[in-house]
């Protein structure tokens, strides 16, 4: 008799986005004349830039000719893309990587979910709270998180590190020592970052405690302040304790095109075994590579045109972020993030719960955002707005919120 993976049954239902959709649908039905604007979108809206689509067209033509057709991608991805990544993202920051330390993938969500494969079940994970849900759920599916405790809205065997306005959204070292530490910087959902000193302290902590840091840098391209590290490897010692994940989704609009990569340095070793070889083995067995056409598209992001064009898109979103941030501050709200990330994290007014504020915003301003409590217990009392909308809608939404 076959048996299912019981760990799936322990997962709490993910009601966040379905509850939002239902509430919005029923509001629209009751008020068909009102135009509802969503600043809840966690997806890019601008199209792929010309440098990228041109490269894709060329690659499609190559695939249609016998002389230039390509089959399976080499394990770990094409050299042309890895070289572009190392030369574009790492060498200029004084970080030296070998080609086989970069693993091309179909995105950072897959990588952050799949990485659990190479770690033992009895590792203790630590996550920031609020958190990008993939880190926890992927561990829960692998039976590494204990039981879900409804009253705490958390797992018995997970270390939660609250990130709130009180600690300036910088996680403190937990009482219990973790084995695996997930850090997302710039952060989704809070839009906040760690300074180089704060991240360096975490690197030292990981080295001292023989822990590994899984560093999600999906929003790296949005960093505007000089004191925020673009890569964890800017911190001394990180090559021995950190895996870095990146994505083409948010910096180049690849959410539907799919491309990302992980850096697993060969110096990252546990019990004499390099994690690099384990991850290579894992990917070689379960993943057959990102499409050639998409890897060529990714290479084009690093061309002069690609850089200039994607930079413009990020500037467009960050202009929206500034409008949201400044508009809400002027209206008296406490607002965080939005300077190095396309997310604005605001405190709900008058001690309202995240869902109460959701309802007020929907009914009085016809604006949709995301309740902070959906990202973890420490998100209660906060609310997320995103900068991925159009400029017009963003301006309109903020004017309406100001009038509440």
Ligand X SMILES: *Cc1c(COP(=O)(O)O)cnc(C)c1O
Smallest distance from ligand X to CB 343, Å: 9
Smallest distance from ligand X to CB 189, Å: 8
CB 106 within 8 A of CB 324: no
**Sole binder of ligand X in the list 45, 177, 195, 255 (CB under 6 A):** 255
Q: Which residues contact 177 (CB under 8 A, 6 or more apart)?
A: 124, 209, 211
184 counts as binding ligand X under rule CB under 6 A: yes
CB atoms within 10 A of CB 225: 10
Q: Show the CA angle centred on residue 317, arms to residues 186 and 360, nearest 5°.
A: 85
Collapsing DSSP states into helix, strand and coil, what is residue 253? Answer: coil
Residues 312-341 that bind ligand X (CB under 6 A): none
**Sole binder of ligand X in the list 138, 188, 251, 373 (CB under 6 A):** 188
CB 336 within 8 A of CB 165: yes
CB 5 within 8 A of CB 141: yes
Q: Which residues contact 197 (CB under 8 A, 6 or more apart)?
A: none
Nearer to ligand X, 180 or 365 (CB): 180
Residue 216 β-bridge partners:
184, 245
81 counts as binding ligand X under rule CB under 6 A: no
Between CA 149 and CA 156 the distance in angstroms is 7
Binding piece for ligand X, criterion CB under 6 A, among 80-88, 103-111, 265-273, 314-322? 103-111
Q: For residue 229, give Cα distances in angstroms to 35, 83, 172, 357, 396.
A: 40, 21, 18, 34, 34
Binding piece for ligand X, criterion CB under 6 A, among 162-170, 173-181, 249-257, 375-383? 249-257
Q: Which residues contact 332 (CB under 8 A, 6 or more apart)?
A: 349
Site for ligand X (CB under 6 A): how many residues? Answer: 13
Nearer to ligand X, 107 or 306 (CB): 107
296 counts as binding ligand X under rule CB under 6 A: no
Nearer to ligand X, 134 or 142 (CB): 134
Binding piece for ligand X, criterion CB under 6 A, among 94-102, 121-129, 247-255, 306-314? 247-255
**Sole binder of ligand X in the list 89, 137, 216, 299 (CB under 6 A):** 216
Smallest distance from ligand X to CB 173, Å: 22
**Sole binder of ligand X in the list 249, 276, 295, 394 (CB under 6 A):** 249
Binding piece for ligand X, criterion CB under 6 A, among 84-92, 106-114, 139-147, 273-281? 106-114
Q: By the criterion CB under 6 A, which residues form the site for ligand X? A: 107-109, 132, 184, 188, 216, 218, 247, 249-250, 255, 260
């Amino acid at each position: 008799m076959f048996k299912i993976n019981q760990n799936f049954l322990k997962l709490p239902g993910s009601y966040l986005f379905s509850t939002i959709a239902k509430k919005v649908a029923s509001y629209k039905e009751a008020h068909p004349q009102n135009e509802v604007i969503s600043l809840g979108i966690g997806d890019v809206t601008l199209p792929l830039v010309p440098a990228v689509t041109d490269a894709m067209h060329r690659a499609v033509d190559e695939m249609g000719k016998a002389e230039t057709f390509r089959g399976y991608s080499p394990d770990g991805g094409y050299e042309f893309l890895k070289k572009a990544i190392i030369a574009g993202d790492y060498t200029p920051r004084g970080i030296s990587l070998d080609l086989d330390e970069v693993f091309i993938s179909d995105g950072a969500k897959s990588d952050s979910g799949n990485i659990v494969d190479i770690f033992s079940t009895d590792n203790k994970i630590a996550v920031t709270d609020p958190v990008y849900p993939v880190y926890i759920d992927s561990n829960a599916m692998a039976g590494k998180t204990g039981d879900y405790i409804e009253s705490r809205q958390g797992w018995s065997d997970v270390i939660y590190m609250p990130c709130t306005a009180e600690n300036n959204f910088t996680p403190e070292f937990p009482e219990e020592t973790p084995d695996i530490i997930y850090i997302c910087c710039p952060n989704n959902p809070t839009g906040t970052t760690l300074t180089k000193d704060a991240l360096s302290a975490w690197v030292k902590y990981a080295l001292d405690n023989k822990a590994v840091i899984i560093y999600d840098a999906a929003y790296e391209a949005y960093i505007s302040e000089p004191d925020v590290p673009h890569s964890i490897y800017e911190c001394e010692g990180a090559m021995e304790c950190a895996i870095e994940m990146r994505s083409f989704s948010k910096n180049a609009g690849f959410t539907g095109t799919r491309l990302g990569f992980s850096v697993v340095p060969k110096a990252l070793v546990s019990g004499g075994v390099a994690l690099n070889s384990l991850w290579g083995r894992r990917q070689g067995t379960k993943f057959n590579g990102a499409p050639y056409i998409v890897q060529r598209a990714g290479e084009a992001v690093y061309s002069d045109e690609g850089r200039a064009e994607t930079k413009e898109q990020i500037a467009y979103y960050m202009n929206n972020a500034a409008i949201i941030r400044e508009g809400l501050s002027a209206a008296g709200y406490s607002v965080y993030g939005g300077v190095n990330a396309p997310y604005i994290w605001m405190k709900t007014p008058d001690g309202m719960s995240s869902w109460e504020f959701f309802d007020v915003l929907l009914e009085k301003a016809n604006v949709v955002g995301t309740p902070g409590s959906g990202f973890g217990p420490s998100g209660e009392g906060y609310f997320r707005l995103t900068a991925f909308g159009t400029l017009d809608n963003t301006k309109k939404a903020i004017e309406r919120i100001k009038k509440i």
